[in-house]
Structure 1
Amino acid sequence: MTYKPALSTSELFAAAAATKSAAAGAHERAEHAPFSATVIADSGFRGPAFEASAARLASYNTALAASAVRLEQASVALLAAAGLQQQLDEAAEFIGVFAHSRVVLWLNGMSMMLDLRLSRTLLGAAGKEQDYDPLFDHPDESFESLHARHAQTVPASTMAAVDDAGGVILEAGPTATTVLVGDAADPSRVITMVAGATTGTPSKLPGELEKAQMLSEKTGAAVVVWQGYAPPPLLTDAASPHRAHAGADDLAMFQAALEERFPNAQKTVISHSYGTLLATKAAHQHGLLADDLWILGSAGVSGEHVSELTLAGPEATVHVVDSPEDPILMLRSGPTAAIGSSPSYIGWGGERVLGVKGGHTDYFTDPAFLSALQQRADPTA
């Protein structure tokens, strides 16, 4: 199992040292500004031009002093992050000896969370595609508390849909909400739904919650509608992998948060359409804590072979679900697809689910898919 930290300890230490040096330089230049004003005054230079130059030098002093303070704060933050990342590296080295794959992936999530917090400290913002409050950032907060806090921030229409589904809000941001339906106390299985370009928006949340309720009833699992990324706003934008790349780390962190809360539950990720690229990017780039990954109606996935995806362990499985009636299949040709590799190519290596029918939006009600999903809940089936 590969340890893939989001940050480099050596680079953080180097950045902290460079920033500290820059702060010292800014302090020195700030101290020189008043001295320069004194030299000009001692020269006998007077008049409007002198007054303007003196005012400008005073402003330089203020600006440089403020810059020095900000650089010092950045240096402290970088140094603290370097120390924490070093501890994660040492833990990963120790854990790797015992091949605890799930713990290694959780450490990857910790590194990504450290990266997110460092970005907020240095830039005053998350540096992500949207200002999102991740579940991973609140390991000790109960679901009841999370739900109550997020309920005060989401639109009334969103809250009505969540209440109708009996859901619990786990994450919330300006343009998306992540909701769990089903057993939130001690589920034996947790299914995470990763929506596509046309179903991952706030207006589609009620419909996605209906799917989640249906899946929960069919499988007995707790089901999460994950809206932790901003899907492409237009279908034409779905031809670009940018949004999937931006959201891949957030999905990896979310699955790590589920592992932390439900260590004994089976983790399932069901990705659809554009969401298949995001989910496979998470597994390819960061590692994804999933025991089974389902790829439905994909226009392209990350990785040239399924072996390039890092999941929860060696027994994890990847399932490819396609309907011959789905027009998205026209975006695939041999080993390639419109925005990545073709998961249906025989050389890619995923397990094919046969007998699926219907159009691009019919997968979640297809009997063949639902049967395969139910059977995967029992590894001996």
Structure 2
Amino acid sequence: MSRRRAFASSISAALIAAAITAAAFLSFGNGESPGIGEPSVAIQYELSESLGSSQSPAVPLTPPDTFSSLTRSAVDWSSVYARVSPSLVSVVTEAGTGSGFFVTDDGHVITNLHVVSEAEQVYVYLQDRSRHEAEMIAKDAGNDLALLKIDADATEISVPSFGRLNDLRIGDPVGALGAPFGLPNSLTVGIVSALDRTRPSGTGTLEPLRSMIQTDAALNPGNSGGMLVDEFGRVVGIPTQIESADRSSSGIGFAVSAEAMLRSLPTMLQGEDVERSYLGVSLPPTGGRLEILDVVCESAADRAGVRVGDVLLRINGESADSFAELVEALADIAPGDEMTITVRRGFSRLTLETTATAWPTEPPDLGCG
């Protein structure tokens, strides 16, 4: 089979389309350093469900079993903001302004990778107006995330609690906190417009952003890396992209889920970049069996001997006969790990051995199956 150049995802024809979709990325604001607004109420660091502080207005932390339309529409966003905003920071580089928030009480801040990826100097502005030089500790390019660290001595730090993606439903109210156009401590509100969106990452990898939250809460340049919170004050996402012709809010914004960030956080806290393995096959864009449509040259699948027409069954012994199962199986395999690929070829069942590879940074060659 002839070799041909193609811009392709490794495991889904659907992701090919996503990877070439034009997107306006929320990265930097107007180039102005932000003047941090009035200090907000500080809250005690807790990673549990509790956001409690006697200084802040009470807000429900655990959603009731049944939501009424009144509960969904009558959100006390002032109370939510008072509890969550102490965790919010502005992230400033020589190119402009983004957002971030604390994830540990010793000064680790999460933001979007595209906010800081090309920066020579990074500064974090806190709620007390103080400026702190930040160091980038690690990154997760596949989720467009970067972990920063500031010197936390004599700094009062608040870490928010986090919501689960499975608790979100289309129509749920959400609020976005960040520094749009360099304006710090801004809150916009909307709803969850859609779930499980796939988007191109645009951070030097062809790995797509998966399971993103779509919202109509106004997002603009400078919101990147901030917080998308639910009505209970829990961070459910990190605003990352907008779909817009002019890089301003169009009512179509996307956030990386907080769950995706929390999965990567332990690795990043160790100072290690997060990398996921790349299988190197093209699959049907619709549901059903995972029949190989094409194989990326020099990929793990190519080196294992996977062929066009094979039907994917298992990865490292784990079921991979649906797209969701395949993504889950690959998530536990790092580039360089030994990997087995079980396929059905005709009437035969074959288990092929290979070594996992990392996601490419340039469009790969197809046609090697």
TM-score, length-scaled by structure 2: 0.23
Greater relative contact order, per chain length (Cα 8 Å cut-off, separation 6+): 2
TM-score, length-scaled by structure 1: 0.23
Q: Which has the higher strand share?
A: 2
Q: Which has the higher helix share?
A: 1
